[in-house]
Structure 1
């Protein structure tokens, strides 16, 4: 049992308001440190400019389900009379048994009634929690059109993005002293992995949370786990171990880029003057994203993807201006820029200083073959870009070879060099948000395991392989090399 003094100190550190802490103490619900951080985030939803969705997810056994019911019942329902809460979980029988076990542990000090038949837990002030469930996604439709002040969703990644969006339309209130909110708990993986990662994890990792707050769960957060449970998780392998033990969101079942590690391959900063060669690649789309990646190679053979342009529903003229602006944000090393120029014995310092990078400095600017296909009027997309100052050439579009080149660049960061591991030579700057967001979700094509399964972004622009294709073009296409050799007679 957590000591009261320890709990009070942890609540202060987590940022819990005093009345929230009193509510938990009154109910004798003493949450652990990570759970208190989640509860403090839940109280941010009270603020007019605060979040409307709280996500608590990661490793298994982190105490997420315990927190969800505690927050709804011991805090929210106690401070606002007449609150109507919906707690959704997949599979009804398991949900009700799970709910009953938690209710008995959490609320034995709070006067309440529970109807197992209706699945409704009611408190003396009129607030209530409805234990909902769904076997299939169509079961969610039974709740649509109803009004709930709070919605809690367990195992949120078992829902598709569309069903999650549908259920959010039910989160509304007529109470003047309450701001509706959605709490969700889950583990990495499942049909909803990609949208949950985009909605909660990406803003959290980029420190750009606005409407959401995410609290990562770890198995070590829960001091009540038996030691054997952790050993069970440690004996897992592949994506399940990374997901359920480490709470790693950069995974998926069937994930293609299994060696991609954010802490290794995503860099915070890059000095442009290190570049010895610059290049770019374009993957074209209109309804889908057009993605342009700008990369360079340093003197040690490392490749850096330093910038990204990604937009859809734009015409080539608009893309061209944005691409030029992206290139101009970077600097060309003055010494590298003078390659091929006549050597002068006296050069001023100004002549070798850096200058803005220009399209003409790129050793190559490649694009997929579709850009060069002639349309009914005889024109090409490449020709339209040419009119706006961007000359493209055909990329190496061999998919299997291209993905192998990318994998080679990522190396084997989980294997030490002393054990024969391959050193990573491909790195991505954090500003390449779409590339970083979509790469971990790509999966093997079940009909061609060496290839990546083609996938389009959804109607909200989530997911897709556009950025990955641009990366493939960039890495797999090499600059043309011309050699001069003297002819020798026989």
Structure 2
């Protein structure tokens, strides 16, 4: 009997991907491998079963529109009817194949309470947060034993989601589609995961019809060529802190000696987590983060009690702190709305914790933190973390952050889920502000420094009235007008 074939996968990666039995499978790793077709038509295998629902996602509607236009030639041949208002196809069995666009975690919440048996996200590398994928996984389930639930995605190296995708799929799964079993907690059945790599040569349709496309990829700048042609996930990973290494940056727990200098940093939050870091300054100027304290939905008095208790357990009462830097949000008061009560900062001071302004420069703070974390063969990092549960969470957050594609000198801002308080970058902000209170100043070349020192030694002293000194004119209260100031 001759069948009407609507679409047929190419031998190799496309066939491996469609036949893969794992629950979640990532396909791709380079441009031109036929990823979209695999995701799109892979969801048709169960449309003959009543009750089946498939969901195909892209980041934006323009991207999605191109895919939806492509379906009309194939889906109609299977007897499906297009419901333009709902952006979905209905098949003769009653099965539905839906389309949506999803850019943020807030967008993902539109699927709360819904159930799908096939969820495909095309170009998952554009999604900055792993929790979006995890939430979608919670929507993928089946109560019908004849319907298999499947999570499928495609991605290329680079992009906002490079870090978490590399950690979840590339570092765990071999590229040949072998299924990896992921143990689950509390004795529940394990999850299964796989990665099927494909490249442009695995898509003969594209190579035959558009052979110059390979020349285009080969002519790209080195970074893009390695990502899009070779599928190299180690090329320009997009991770904000590639220097992070658990073996290098973690040290065993230790006590704080009475003579050692300590300071703290605080990123306040109520609906999202607050983060408090305790730092120890070592004799060589390097910094050791002793612990990270987290909490949520706590008023200032409760935060102070939690922090005070943890600090005392490490032998650090508040009066031992050199200072505690904090973001400007603790000072906010909405005078325009008639708010004349104490600010959050004043509430903390009343509770016994004095906070000072932090340098919140994002770009400078990121670069300074990179200096602290950098290390070499004979050069240890200037920031290390004591091995505590709180610091482990902070380290994991730093590992997950990526560079902002619109501002390559900064870290991509990650918002917290206002409902659960999960996600966000509060621990990064707190660590960044802490280290900006002790910025690393690059050393001058020794010859230049020697010349500067000589000029200072032999310079002729000059005297000026305080009002003539530039900084004194802008800060008249800091000097007395009946004494002179020597300027060298």
TM-score (norm 1): 0.53
Per-residue CA deviation, residues 131-158 of structure 1 (Å, 9 max, x unaligned), is: 8587999xx9x99999753232322456
2:269 to 258, 268, 285: 285
Who is 1:13 aligned against? none
Deviation at 1:432, TM superposition (A): 0.9
Aligned equivalents of 1:309 and 1:264: distance in 2? 22
Aligned equivalents of 2:247 and 2:127: distance in 1? 29
Aligned equivalents of 2:139 and 2:393: distance in 1? 35
Aligned: 1:308 with 2:287:
no
Aligned equivalents of 1:285 and 1:249: distance in 2? 36
- Is the contact made by 1:150 and 1:171 (CA closer than 8 Å) also made in structure 2? yes
Aligned: 1:151 with 2:119:
yes
Across the two proteins, how many residue pairs are aligned to each other? 385
Q: Tell me the secondary structure at the aligned position of residue 393 of structure 2.
A: coil
Aligned equivalents of 2:325 and 2:269: distance in 1? 15
Who is 1:110 aligned against? none
> CA, structure 1 residues 197+264, in 2 after alignment: closer, same or farther (shift >3 Å)?
closer
Q: Unaligned stretches of 5+ in structure 2?
A: 1-7, 83-87, 173-181, 208-212, 386-390, 440-488
Deviation at 1:366, TM superposition (A): 2.1
Who is 1:339 aligned against? none
- Is the contact made by 1:410 and 1:424 (CA closer than 8 Å) also made in structure 2? yes
- Is the contact made by 1:234 and 1:241 (CA closer than 8 Å) also made in structure 2? no
Who is 2:233 aligned against? 247
Please show how residues 344-355 of structure 1 align to structure 2 within 5 Å.
none
- Is the contact made by 1:114 and 1:120 (CA closer than 8 Å) also made in structure 2? no
Please show how residues 420-439 of structure 1 align to structure 2 within 5 Å.
424-427=381-384, 429-432=391-394, 435-436=397-398, 439=401
Aligned: 1:39 with 2:23:
no
> CA, structure 1 residues 373+268, in 2 after alignment: closer, same or farther (shift >3 Å)?
same
- Is the contact made by 2:14 and 2:38 (CA closer than 8 Å) also made in structure 1? no
Please show how residues 47-126 of structure 1 align to structure 2 within 5 Å.
54=24, 56=26, 59-60=29-30, 68=39, 72=43, 83-88=52-57, 90-93=63-66, 114=78
Aligned equivalents of 2:344 and 2:73: distance in 1? 62
Q: Tell me the secondary structure at the aligned position of residue 41 of structure 1.
A: coil
Deviation at 1:368, TM superposition (A): 2.7
Aligned equivalents of 1:188 and 1:434: distance in 2? 21
Aligned equivalents of 1:208 and 1:475: distance in 2? 38
Who is 1:366 aligned against? 325
Please show how residues 399-418 of structure 1 align to structure 2 within 5 Å.
401-411=364-374
Q: Tell me the secondary structure at the aligned position of residue 121 of structure 2.
A: strand
Who is 1:186 aligned against? 155
> CA, structure 1 residues 392+462, in 2 after alignment: closer, same or farther (shift >3 Å)?
same
Q: Tell me the secondary structure at the aligned position of residue 418 of structure 2.
A: coil
Who is 2:355 aligned against? 392
> CA, structure 1 residues 146+359, in 2 after alignment: closer, same or farther (shift >3 Å)?
closer
> CA, structure 1 residues 271+134, in 2 after alignment: closer, same or farther (shift >3 Å)?
closer
Aligned: 1:381 with 2:362:
no
- Is the contact made by 1:292 and 1:308 (CA closer than 8 Å) also made in structure 2? yes
Looking at CA atoms only, which structure, 1 or 2, has the larger radius of gyration? Answer: 2
- Is the contact made by 2:287 and 2:382 (CA closer than 8 Å) also made in structure 1? yes
> CA, structure 1 residues 294+134, in 2 after alignment: closer, same or farther (shift >3 Å)?
closer
> CA, structure 1 residues 149+426, in 2 after alignment: closer, same or farther (shift >3 Å)?
same
Aligned equivalents of 2:194 and 2:268: distance in 1? 36
Aligned equivalents of 2:103 and 2:329: distance in 1? 40
Aligned equivalents of 2:413 and 2:9: distance in 1? 52
> CA, structure 1 residues 270+453, in 2 after alignment: closer, same or farther (shift >3 Å)?
closer
Deviation at 1:470, TM superposition (A): 1.5
Q: Tell me the secondary structure at the aligned position of residue 402 of structure 2.
A: helix
Q: Tell me the secondary structure at the aligned position of residue 293 of structure 1.
A: strand
Aligned equivalents of 2:240 and 2:128: distance in 1? 26
Aligned equivalents of 1:38 and 1:28: distance in 2? 11
Deviation at 1:397, TM superposition (A): 4.4
Aligned: 1:467 with 2:424:
no
> CA, structure 1 residues 71+328, in 2 after alignment: closer, same or farther (shift >3 Å)?
farther
- Is the contact made by 2:13 and 2:196 (CA closer than 8 Å) also made in structure 1? no
Q: Tell me the secondary structure at the aligned position of residue 309 of structure 1.
A: strand
Deviation at 1:327, TM superposition (A): 4.3
Deviation at 1:261, TM superposition (A): 0.6
- Is the contact made by 1:59 and 1:218 (CA closer than 8 Å) also made in structure 2? yes
Who is 2:474 aligned against? none
Who is 2:252 aligned against? 271
CA-based RMSD of the aligned residues comes to 6.2
Please show how residues 21-32 of structure 1 align to structure 2 within 5 Å.
none
Who is 1:51 aligned against? none
Per-residue CA deviation, residues 280-316 of structure 1 (Å, 9 max, x unaligned), is: 2102233454222233455565444453334443212
Aligned equivalents of 2:350 and 2:283: distance in 1? 34
- Is the contact made by 1:77 and 1:83 (CA closer than 8 Å) also made in structure 2? yes
Per-residue CA deviation, residues 328-354 of structure 1 (Å, 9 max, x unaligned), is: 676xxxxxxxxxxxxxxxxxxxxxxxx
- Is the contact made by 2:52 and 2:117 (CA closer than 8 Å) also made in structure 1? yes
> CA, structure 1 residues 404+189, in 2 after alignment: closer, same or farther (shift >3 Å)?
closer
Aligned equivalents of 2:143 and 2:369: distance in 1? 53
Q: Unaligned stretches of 5+ in structure 1?
A: 1-26, 43-53, 104-112, 253-257, 331-355, 480-490
Aligned equivalents of 2:333 and 2:91: distance in 1? 67
